Amino acid sequence: MMKKKYFFCTSTVFCFFTLGSSDFHHITLTENYTQAKSYCRDMYTDLATIYNLEDMNNLVSLASNITENTWIGLEIGAVWMWHWSLPGQLTDFFKWKSGEVITNNQEECAALDQFGGWFVSACGVLRKFVCQGTHTGDFIFVNESKSWWDAQSHCRGLPSDLVSIHSEAENMAVLNVSASQTVWIGLFKDPWKWSDGSNSSFRFWRASQPSYLSNQDCVAAVFQDNGKWNKQSCSNQLNFVCHGEGNMILIQENMTWIEALSYCRKHYFDLVDIKTKNIQDQVAQKAKNATSSYVWLGLRYTVQFNFWFWIRSTSSCYQNWLPGEGPQRDYGSAVSGAMEATGGQQWVGLPETEKLNFICNTCAG
């Protein structure tokens, strides 16, 4: 069942909304593509994957008043692959005409000739085309000559998409509806891949894109152009969109550190650990809603060795201690790490018998 859309801003850092069956989070920090991907993988699942035009239209309506463009999770790959323009379709049937030469590293689109054979063509050639109908086996012949990309836009405006073909019978039906004329079909080849490994074939390029200029290996949605996609240098600093549920939760119950640890491990995964500034920022956002002055973290102190460590044994150089706390201080008794719920939201050592709210990781990440 399709979820309804929800939208709210919790701070100047990110906004959240639900699209279709995926959770999208618009992050208003400015980062290069690699940093944005790292943030999304730390905080959520990955940079956003777009599956269809409905996702894209909702994204435009919700984010276009916030920013001019954002990173999405599409990046250049090493392998050029064939896809159907209509999302979610397997490339399980081909009908290349005899002697057709398929190049490996070049953008190409596919057309159907007057005998039903397929051939590759530059996507900018003007041809008539066939759109997918609203029902299985229903095809729409369009007697106008357009480039492959313009033909795709025309079909999506019906709303539909360029036709996909999965059997000899479907191929013959498309040939018949086209009156044995040469037409575009919805097959195209490109090297783009999604950061999270998804196989979405949905593309929403601006006019003249993708241009395959050197050093432009990442993709942004440009809201000044209805959210259409543009190749950019991965070093550019942009807002970005993550997807997936957040991987941490604030528990607004007061427990000792040991009780909090047991609770997280029983109901979720573990007490939260903070390995990067990005995670610190996310934990800080959660902590602002605490009903205690501090929140427990998965940080513990060993009296014997005067040493602080994360309970998940994750090594990290990142620290955010309040001055005079942490390694600078010999506590001399059993303490564990907590974060200030407000103010600078730095870390302190507190007696582990104190009862505080706490933050759990909901999954390993």
- pLDDT surpasses 50 at 225: yes
* pLDDT digits 0-9 by tens, 146-172: 999 999 999 999 989 999 999 999 999
pLDDT confidence band for 1 (50 / 70 / 90): very low
Nearest CA-CA partner of 183 in 82, 114, 275: 114
pLDDT confidence band for 4 (50 / 70 / 90): very low
Q: Do 215 and 298 reside in the same domain of the chain?
A: no
Q: Do 356 and 261 reside in the same domain of the chain?
A: yes
Percent of the chain with pLDDT strictly greater than 90: 63
CATH number of the domain where residue 311 is located: 3.10.100.10
Across residues 295-303, what is the average pLDDT? 94
Beta-carbon contacts of 102 under 8 Å, excluding residues fewer than 6 positions away, are 96, 108, 120
Give the three-class secondary structure for 175: helix
Q: Do 171 and 239 reside in the same domain of the chain?
A: no
Domain contains 92: yes
- pLDDT surpasses 90 at 59: no
Q: What is the pLDDT of residue 11?
A: 36
CA distance 20 to 51: 10
- pLDDT surpasses 80 at 324: yes
Q: Amino acid letter at 26?
A: H
Q: Do 170 and 272 reside in the same domain of the chain?
A: no
Domain contains 197: no
- pLDDT surpasses 70 at 230: yes
Domain contains 201: no
Domain contains 167: yes
* pLDDT digits 0-9 by tens, 135-148: 777 899 999 999 99
Q: Do 252 and 357 reside in the same domain of the chain?
A: yes
Q: Do 271 and 302 reside in the same domain of the chain?
A: yes
Domain contains 15: yes
Q: What is the pLDDT of residue 364?
A: 60
Domain contains 199: no
The residue segments making up the domain with residue 33 are: 7-74+208-243
Provide the domain count of the chain.
3
Higher-confidence position of 96 and 4: 96
- pLDDT surpasses 90 at 10: no
Report the sign of the C-alpha dihedral through residues 243, 286, 338, 35, in that order: positive
Domain contains 203: no
Q: Please say whether the beta carbons of 89 and 250 come within 8 A.
A: no
pLDDT confidence band for 64 (50 / 70 / 90): confident
Question: Beta partners for 99?
Answer: none
* pLDDT digits 0-9 by tens, 169-213: 999 999 999 998 999 999 999 999 999 999 899 999 998 888 887
Q: Do 220 and 310 reside in the same domain of the chain?
A: no
Q: Do 285 and 338 reside in the same domain of the chain?
A: yes
Across residues 88-108, what is the average pLDDT? 87
Q: Please say whether the beta carbons of 27 and 246 come within 8 A.
A: no
Q: Do 269 and 356 reside in the same domain of the chain?
A: yes
Higher-confidence position of 3 and 81: 81
Q: What is the pLDDT of residue 313?
A: 64
CA distances from 84 to 132, 218, 357 (A): 11, 21, 50
Q: Please say whether the beta carbons of 110 and 83 come within 8 A.
A: no
pLDDT confidence band for 101 (50 / 70 / 90): confident
pLDDT confidence band for 17 (50 / 70 / 90): very low
Domain contains 142: yes
Average pLDDT, the chain: 88
Across residues 240-257, what is the average pLDDT? 89
Looking at the chain, which runs of residues are DSSP E strands? 7-9, 14-19, 22-31, 46-47, 69-84, 108-112, 118-121, 127-132, 139-146, 183-194, 218-222, 228-232, 238-243, 248-255, 270-271, 294-302, 307-310, 335-340, 347-351, 356-361
Q: Please say whether the beta carbons of 83 and 186 come within 8 A.
A: no
Q: Do 169 and 98 reside in the same domain of the chain?
A: yes
Q: Do 328 and 355 reside in the same domain of the chain?
A: yes
- pLDDT surpasses 50 at 9: no
Q: What is this structure's pTM?
A: 0.70
Q: Do 213 and 66 reside in the same domain of the chain?
A: yes
Q: What is the pLDDT of residue 303?
A: 85
